Amino acid sequence: MDVPPPPAGDAPDGVAWLLETAGPERGPAVLLAAVLLALGERAQVESTREMSFVRVEVDEDDLLELPPHAELLLSGGRTYLPLDPRRESGTLGVLPAAVRAALVRRQSARQRPFWRSQRSGLPAA
């Protein structure tokens, strides 16, 4: 059965619908995660009271390709790079201090996650 396309201007925009459905705070993170997942990355939306962001799992082989200032989240034996979808430019892999503090306070059932600076290898302040 052939179904004619909707008239121009009546076709719903999938991006606009997703942003409206997910909301202005979570929507950009959902869109970024969807693109990364479509590209084969292991990405997940993470939310705190302060903001939503995307965390991308990073393989050990790829750690040397990250910028030295990237603050990685270590959890459950895995390494994640946090991405702030609200900023079109800025420092890659760095979230606001309030968000990092909120994540550190979160207790995981197995292990307490913490941030590690690429530069020093120590937990970030």
Q: Is the pTM of this model over 0.75?
A: no
Alpha-carbon distance of 79 to 67, in angstroms, equals 15
122 has a pLDDT exceeding 80: no
Residues near 106 by Cβ (< 8 Å), separated by ≥ 6? 112, 113
**Percent above pLDDT 90 for the chain:** 23
Q: What is the pLDDT of residues 29-73, one digit of tens each?
A: 999 999 999 999 999 999 888 889 999 999 989 888 888 888 888
**Percent above pLDDT 70 for the chain:** 72
Please report which confidence band the pLDDT of residue 115 belongs to, taking 50, 70 and 90 as the band edges: low
